[in-house]
Structure 1
Amino acid sequence: MTYLTLGQVNIPIAWLALIIAILYSDFRSRHSDGATTKLIEHLLYTYIFIWKFSYILFSSSDFFQAPLSLIYFDGGLKGHLLALAVVAFLLYRKRELFDWEVGWMYWVRLVAIYQLIFNSFQEQWFVAGLWIFTLILIERIKSQHVLLVQFFLLMWLDGFISSFTLFHVAVLLTVYFRTKHAQYIAGAGLLSLVAMMLMDVEENITTTTRAAIDLPATTGEQYRLSDQEQSLTVVNFFATWCPPCKAEMPHLQSFADSLPMGVALIGINLTARDNGEEALTDFMETYSVTYPILRDEDDAVGKAFQVKSIPTTVLLNAQGEELERIVGPVSEEGLRQLIKKYESLLSE
């Protein structure tokens, strides 16, 4: 689960987990160096601000076509790297005022609580249990070795290019370089190699059987998914009145303009929940939609796919079975990462 759905409102689990993690770290650091705690908060908010608004810089065409997309999207990996560079510069300038013991404790608490909450919502109970264990280590032992434990877990679970892993590497290197424990840097490098090898192990792919898609397209033709010869099909359920649906349309169209080989993209308008044919026509013209749009006039497919909140994007294999779904707006980068996850199916 990526979003917590309350009616038609989608609350990103990641943001909810981050807010709780910051509040917990603030609470636990309340008796520590107040100046350091305030500086950490300033650096965190600076990081989030730059990462979020760098979307305008790195996806300017999508932003100007749909300004509301800023609410739902961010600068991605490029935004994280830019924010990390700025925060590192600010920290360097304020280094004399910074208590590193307070700093790394604040960070490891934040990481543990965030991952615990996020993985609990994902019902990854074993992983959540691992983060509970690290939180106990943090609060009882208060050893810098916890940084290495967390680094290993982040590399194994999220990969090197995730935002938490990147930031964690920066914290780890800063702490150990300051204490001149070069052997820990070598250990971190070894752990990273082990983690990357573990991540290369092929995962079992699970599927969910779904109803056949057989709907009329806006062109007047009948579209049957079973007649298509694609290995993967991205199905986007939407309505024209839905703000996040509008925000993601430029990203979907950009994805459609350069589809990976063996991948198809279709949109399913939940017509029974929408504002009529004219609204759909205007919507498609506004966003210059060129990929197939189907009309679910009696909501049969929407109900069969258990679409309760929109937008919802579902990835299907060649047999029409569901591989994965995203509730809430999806970016072009997110779609390409999703396809990459299942690229083994494209060679079959």
Structure 2
Amino acid sequence: MNRSLFIGVFLAVALIAGGISNWRSAQAEKAPASQGQEEVSRDEATRSLPIQIERPAPDFTLPTLDGGTVTLSELRGKPVFINFWTTWCPFCLQEMPDFQQFFSRHGEEVHMAIINVTAAEETLDDVRNFLASTGYTFPILLDTEGDVARMYLVRSLPTSFFLDAQGILRYYYPGPVTLETLEEALQEIQQFS
């Protein structure tokens, strides 16, 4: 009962935070020019984040579900898609089929770092059981202490980032992303290479 209550409260807070974030992004995209100021784009609005667009992404090393490790800086040379998720987040689960399709299409040209915020899971077996039942083949990294989620200022789940081949943060997505969003972002990021 306590876990259900916790999940309910967390989801409510996440939905509200996601709604506010999306509203702010929409407002930033269409903010009118006033008193000599230029119009503000979403990219300009997100530059105020401590993790900054058009700056190198913070490096990390995380274990993988299959027992290896991944260091972000070692993935340079190809674009990197980073996603933070949990098994109990319905919006996270909603985007997983699109991730699989994207990985099947572009796995040779894009690194995917699909990071389970394991610190927020009840057990690691929840993650293993979920993945065993779905057949997803993209790489799963484990943020067992939640340190990388904190470093990337993840405030709601899911949250995603797209880096170019040089490790520069190009896109920030609070909330779920679609296959169409991933495809468009990849096309734009390939222009930076």
Taking structure 2 as the reference length, what is the TM-score of the superposition? 0.75
Q: Tell me how far 1:210 sits from its aligned partner.
A: 3.0
CA RMSD of aligned residues (A): 2.6
Question: Of 301, 313, 334, which aligns to 2:181?
Answer: 334
Alpha carbons 1:312, 1:327 under 8 Å: kept: yes
Question: Of 129, 138, 145, which aligns to 2:33?
Answer: 129
Residue 292 of structure 1 aligns to which amino acid in structure 2? P
- Over 6 Å off, 4+ runs: none
Q: Deviations over 1:12-61 (max 9, x none)?
A: 877x7xxxxxxxxxxxxxxxxxxxxxxxxxxxxxxxxxxxxxxxxxxxxx
The corresponding residue for 2:111 is: 264
Q: Tell me how far 1:260 sits from its aligned partner.
A: 6.5
Alpha carbons 2:92, 2:176 under 8 Å: kept: yes
Matched, 1:8 2:14: yes
Residue 72 of structure 2 aligns to which amino acid in structure 1? L
The corresponding residue for 2:147 is: 300
The corresponding residue for 2:8 is: none
Structure 1 222/7 Cα, relative in aligned 2: closer, same or farther at 3 Å? same
**Aligned partners of 1:220, 1:253: CA distance in 2, in Å?**
21
Q: For 1:258, what is the secondary structure of its paired residue?
A: helix
Matched, 1:231 2:78: yes
**Aligned partners of 1:258, 1:288: CA distance in 2, in Å?**
16
Alpha carbons 1:236, 1:268 under 8 Å: kept: yes
**Aligned partners of 2:59, 2:33: CA distance in 1, in Å?**
39
**Aligned partners of 1:118, 1:222: CA distance in 2, in Å?**
34
Question: Of 249, 270, 287, which aligns to 2:96?
Answer: 249
The corresponding residue for 1:215 is: 62
Higher relative contact order (CA 8 A, sep 6+): 2
Q: Tell me how far 1:331 sits from its aligned partner.
A: 1.1
Alpha carbons 1:268, 1:294 under 8 Å: kept: yes
Q: For 2:19, what is the secondary structure of its paired residue?
A: strand
**Aligned partners of 2:74, 2:61: CA distance in 1, in Å?**
10
Q: Tell me how far 1:261 sits from its aligned partner.
A: 5.3
Q: Who wins on radius of gyration, i.e. which is larger?
A: 1
How many residues are treated as equivalent by the alignment?
164
Taking structure 1 as the reference length, what is the TM-score of the superposition? 0.43
Q: Tell me how far 1:255 sits from its aligned partner.
A: 0.7
- The structure whose residues are more often strand, as a share, is 2
Q: Tell me how far 1:320 sits from its aligned partner.
A: 2.8
Structure 1 unmatched runs, 5+: 17-116, 131-156, 158-205
Q: For 1:333, what is the secondary structure of its paired residue?
A: helix
Q: Tell me how far 1:229 sits from its aligned partner.
A: 4.2
The corresponding residue for 2:135 is: 288
Alpha carbons 1:238, 1:270 under 8 Å: kept: yes
Alignment of structure 1 residues 166-177 onto 2, 5 Å = none
Question: Of 144, 153, 168, which aligns to 1:321?
Answer: 168
Q: Tell me how far 1:329 sits from its aligned partner.
A: 1.0
Alignment of structure 1 residues 1-348 onto 2, 5 Å = 7-9=13-15, 10-11=18-19, 119-120=26-27, 122=28, 125=31, 128-129=32-33, 207-259=54-106, 262-345=109-192, 348=193
Q: Tell me how far 1:6 sits from its aligned partner.
A: 7.2
Q: Deviations over 1:111-142 (max 9, x none)?
A: xxxxxx9752x2653xx239xxxxxxxxxxxx
Structure 1 278/306 Cα, relative in aligned 2: closer, same or farther at 3 Å? same
Residue 330 of structure 1 aligns to which amino acid in structure 2? V
